[in-house]
Structure 1
Amino acid sequence: MLKQEPFSPTRGARMSSSDFDTVVYVANAGDGTIGSYRLHREHGRLEPLATTPAAENVMPLALSPDRRFLYAAIRSQPLRVLSYRIEDDGALTPLGSGRLEGSMAYISTDRRGRHLLAASYGDSVVSVSPIGADGVVGDVTQTCPTGSNAHAILATPDDRHVLATNLGDDRLAQFRFDGQLSANTPDAAATDPDVGPRHFVFSPCGRFVYVLGEFDASVTTFALDADSGTLSRRSVCAGLPPESELTRGMPREEIPDGDDTPRIWAADLHISPDGRHLYLSERTTSTLSTLRADPETGSLTFVANQATVAQPRGFEIDPQGEFLVVAGERSDHLALYRVDAASGELSHASDAPAGTKANWVEIVTLPR
């Protein structure tokens, strides 16, 4: 198993936080724009920098492995992915667009930055698109039917396999990957029934995969076999406090008209760079939860749950693990939190104005 090292904006000596700028990018689906902000670490605040045009229903975003390019999927017609170069000052320069065959709920690059992977919830497909040497994503070259409601897709740390969640089938599809996808053996790993696996992350060591259940806010831990690219289920941890009054969720399109029962609606999941804490967002209660992770066993323990912006769909932890930025689809502002490395505690630092239906966050460190 290849060990993943924390991202460093330059090679060589370890850098301190004063050696680089941190820029936050946020997709605003309602405005059709990408907002950018400078993170001032010493003051704990976000400074709005620019608003870059994209298109209606811009979501999701993804970064290239070298952090030189930003990609944005457009979920309005024509379906496509936009490529931007990240300039030295954090500005975004449009480079081109590539056709997508589906409305993509999630995009990511492979570990070498040569291919864009995408998952479509509505079309229940995953796809592969080429990324040129200039960083531009071309038209899709492979589209694969998968289980019901594909929701997230990531390459394994060694880039030889790909995993994708199928929310409607309570499983993770398992693929071999050599620039094209082919079904692995077995072709899927299962979560518990009616979990609705949505987003997932790898532990920094690459040994574990943590999967968020949209319908119960649980996080399932899987062990990853690096050689085979297959998963084995280890444990499940609740992501909401026991006293939560929410009922188990269900697909929004299946909720009867007039039924306003408060249901679990978990959204996003991220792990601290040291692999010791996971965070998840729940949209119905507009909260963030903190879980403690054992890097040796992958086991999780619920720590805390706290209020945040309205309907928090997306958030991200900065590469240094010092701050967390969260966007709410029904909020007019972003929230910035300081992260206590020892306890994982989140303390609110400040807010910043956001666009309409802000939904996805990516964070880049740039050397000064």
Structure 2
Amino acid sequence: MSVKRALGVAAIVLGTAVVSGVSQAATYAYVSNADSQDISVFSLDESNGALAPVQTVAVAGTVMPLALSPDHLRLYAGLRSKPYRVVSFAVNPLDGRLIELARAPLADSMAYVSTDATGRYLLSASYGGNLLAVNPIGRDGVAGDVQQTVKTGPMAHAIRTTSDNRFAFASVLGADAWLRLKFDAANGRLADDAAPAYSLPPKSGPRHFVFSPDQRFTYLIDELDGKLHVLAFNRAGDNVKPIQTISILPPDFSGDKPWGADIHLTPDGRFLYASERTSSTLAAYKVDTASGKLTRIGTYPTEKQPRGFNIDPSGHYLLAAGQLSTSLSAYRIDRKSGALSAIGQYPVGKGANWIEIVRFDGTNGN
């Protein structure tokens, strides 16, 4: 399908959604499967957490990082096989299906993609290329060609902007650094600061991170040492202060080395979860929203080598994939304790590694 025709089809679909409205609230999950080179699409029943297959979308490349636009009407998929590309999809709010709109070059093999707060720019981090990059996103929601690259230390792993769009932060695994870069939202330009926002102990390997809903705290998971860091962010002074470091490893951990992967908060910020690949477990924590500090709730077995997981927008369910598993596990989150209870397993493709979840509220948006 040509770009022009794809945009036309997407406009018709989205226009229908605006006119008729989605009949009821609907939640959809997207799972990237690197080895089978496709994306699994599911609908999620909010009443019980059950998943139903909707679509399998071939992407003809090693698909890994995914990112949703702020309005949730676009999904961006990064391909880590040559030629390195970002695929822009329209998300149909009527049934969750994806419509491919276009492909554009990425600066390298990107381990992470995200949008800025406005959805006008796609930011990415390259583990192998040791760089960050920016692609513009057009008014049609389609990502364009690379407009900027910024060199980092070895193994850049993740990049996210703050909610006010003043800064982008990036973790650089090989440099044990968490970078702060000023972000010019008017033209999508990153300006690197001379010193990291936070320097971690040697061989920590900072990987993914999330901001608390009020943006007062950042939770940063290490890949190499089994640790999770809580950082306080002073937005007035633009500085970062460490307030806690806690283990993600199960009490009976017996592997050769830790292998931290992903981290997510419930939307209300009350519970946090982290995945550890060597033990194939999820660690759960209660968050003191006043201090940002964490208290361990428990450890839960999950799919083998859980590189990616996510939490639905209601905060009731957690979905986890394993890179060495062809199943997706669904869990119910206890709203009082944060404990997880397994409620189902569902087939996905090979090399499942990333999950994004979107909810449409039953009118014409989310």
CA distance in 2, matches of 1:307, 1:103: 31
For each residue in 1:249-294, what CA deviation from the matched residue of structure 2 results, as whole angstroms up to 9, or x when unmatched?
xxxxxxxxxxxxx211111000111111110111111111101211
The root-mean-square deviation of aligned C-alpha atoms, in Å, is: 1.4
**1:19 Cα deviation from its structure 2 partner:** 4.3
CA distance in 2, matches of 1:223, 1:280: 19
**1:127 Cα deviation from its structure 2 partner:** 0.4
- Counting only pairs closer than 5 Å after superposition, residues 177-326 of structure 1 correspond to structure 2 as 177-178=183-184, 179-184=188-193, 186-246=195-255, 262-326=256-320
- Does the residue aligned with 1:285 lie in a helix, a strand or coil? coil
- Does the residue aligned with 1:168 lie in a helix, a strand or coil? helix
Asked if 1:23 corresponds to 2:31, the answer is no
CA distance in 2, matches of 1:229, 1:159: 13
**1:245 Cα deviation from its structure 2 partner:** 2.3
CA distance in 1, matches of 2:45, 2:314: 13
**1:42 Cα deviation from its structure 2 partner:** 2.4
Count residues in correspondence.
Answer: 336
The residue aligned with 2:16 is none
**1:335 Cα deviation from its structure 2 partner:** 0.3
**1:185 Cα deviation from its structure 2 partner:** 5.6
The residue aligned with 2:153 is 147
Moved over 6 A (4+): none
- Counting only pairs closer than 5 Å after superposition, residues 4-83 of structure 1 correspond to structure 2 as 19-83=24-88
**1:332 Cα deviation from its structure 2 partner:** 1.5
- Kept after mapping to 2: 8 A contact 1:165/1:198: yes
Summarize the Cα distance change of 1:184–1:141 in structure 2 as closer, same or farther, 3 Å threshold: same
CA distance in 1, matches of 2:130, 2:240: 21
**1:92 Cα deviation from its structure 2 partner:** 0.5
**1:228 Cα deviation from its structure 2 partner:** 4.9
- Does the residue aligned with 1:122 lie in a helix, a strand or coil? coil
TM-score (norm 1): 0.89
- Kept after mapping to 2: 8 A contact 1:171/1:189: yes
- Kept after mapping to 1: 8 A contact 2:253/2:279: no
- Kept after mapping to 2: 8 A contact 1:327/1:359: yes
Asked if 1:110 corresponds to 2:119, the answer is no
Identical columns (%)? 45
- Does the residue aligned with 1:81 lie in a helix, a strand or coil? strand
The residue aligned with 2:96 is 90
- Kept after mapping to 1: 8 A contact 2:272/2:287: yes
**1:133 Cα deviation from its structure 2 partner:** 0.4
CA distance in 2, matches of 1:223, 1:19: 39
Q: Structure 1 regions of 5+ residues with no counterpart?
A: 1-17, 247-261
Aligned amino acid, residue 227 of structure 2: S
- Does the residue aligned with 1:147 lie in a helix, a strand or coil? coil
CA distance in 1, matches of 2:75, 2:238: 27
Aligned amino acid, residue 243 of structure 2: R
**1:187 Cα deviation from its structure 2 partner:** 3.9
The residue aligned with 1:258 is none
Asked if 1:164 corresponds to 2:157, the answer is no
For each residue in 1:275-333, what CA deviation from the matched residue of structure 2 results, as whole angstroms up to 9, or x when unmatched?
11110111111111101211111111222111111111100000110000001111111
- Kept after mapping to 1: 8 A contact 2:248/2:276: no
**1:214 Cα deviation from its structure 2 partner:** 0.7
CA distance in 2, matches of 1:107, 1:217: 24
CA distance in 1, matches of 2:321, 2:196: 34
Aligned amino acid, residue 249 of structure 2: L
CA distance in 2, matches of 1:99, 1:296: 43
